[in-house]
C-alpha cells in the first residue's frame, strides 16, 4: 500500500490545536503516486465552532468535500468581492479556483473535510499567521490561541 495508499487515521498530524482541530497533509513526499499525478490531499478536522482563517492557494485549484458535520464556508473573488457564503454539510462538495480565499467556521457538530488539490506541493497564503486555527465561543468571541507550524 506504500506506493498507492496512505492510512490517514494513523498518519502524523501536521498541525494540531487541542481546542480547535487538526490538519493532515498528504503530498508527493508522503505518497509518491501523488507527485506523478500532481495532486495532494489535506484532511482538516475542525472542532465545534472552530474557525479556519482565510487562506488561498496560489498554484492549485481545490475541491472541498464534507465528510462529517457542517460549517459556514465563504469564498471570495481575488478582487475581494464575496463569491459565495454557504453552509456545507456531510456529502456536500465545492470547487475553489486558485487565488480565491476561503474561510470555514465549523458548526456545533464540528467539521471534517477532505481537500483535494491539483498540485503535489500546493502553496498556501494566509491572511493572518501561518496555518492559523482559532476557536470561537458561544458569543462569537475568540477563545483560543493560534498554532503556528
Q: Is residue 88 situated within a structural domain? A: yes
- Cβ neighbour number for residue 35 with a 10 Å cutoff: 15
C-alpha cell at 144: 483560543
* Residues constituting the chain: 149
Q: Is residue 83 situated within a structural domain? A: yes
* pTM recorded for the entire structure: 0.81
pLDDT, greater one: 140 or 73: 73
Q: What is the pLDDT of residue 91?
A: 98
* Host domain of residue 26: 8-135
Distance CA 36, CA 130 (A): 28
CATH number of 102's domain: 2.60.120.10
Q: Is residue 46 situated within a structural domain? A: yes
CB 69, CB 21: distance < 8 Å: no
CB 26, CB 34: distance < 8 Å: yes
CB 46, CB 111: distance < 8 Å: yes
**Each residue's pLDDT tens digit, 79-134:** 989 999 999 999 999 999 999 999 999 999 999 999 999 999 998 888 775 554 44
Q: What is the pLDDT of residue 143?
A: 39
Q: Is residue 143 situated within a structural domain? A: no
User: Exposed e or buried b for every residue in 55-79, given b needs 16+ CB within 10 A?
Assistant: bbbeebbbebebeebbbebbbbeee
Q: What is the pLDDT of residue 140?
A: 40
Distance CA 12, CA 72 (A): 27
Q: Is residue 122 situated within a structural domain? A: yes
Amino acid at each position: 500500500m506504500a506506493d498507492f495508499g496512505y492510512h490517514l487515521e494513523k498518519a502524523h498530524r501536521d498541525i494540531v490545536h487541542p481546542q480547535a482541530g487538526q490538519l493532515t497533509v498528504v503530498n508527493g513526499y508522503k505518497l509518491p503516486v501523488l507527485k506523478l499525478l500532481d495532486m495532494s490531499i489535506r484532511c482538516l478536522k475542525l472542532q465545534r465552532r472552530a474557525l479556519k482563517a482565510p487562506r488561498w492557494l496560489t498554484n492549485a485549484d481545490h475541491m472541498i468535500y464534507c465528510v462529517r458535520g457542517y460549517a459556514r464556508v465563504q469564498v471570495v473573488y481575488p478582487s475581494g468581492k464575496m463569491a459565495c457564503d454557504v453552509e456545507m454539510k456531510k456529502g456536500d462538495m465545492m470547487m475553489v479556483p486558485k487565488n480565491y480565499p476561503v474561510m470555514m467556521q465549523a458548526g456545533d457538530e464540528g467539521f471534517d473535510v477532505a481537500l483535494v488539490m491539483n498540485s503535489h506541493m500546493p502553496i498556501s497564503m494566509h491572511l493572518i499567521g501561518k496555518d492559523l486555527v482559532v476557536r470561537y465561543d458561544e458569543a462569537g468571541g475568540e477563545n483560543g490561541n493560534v498554532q503556528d507550524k
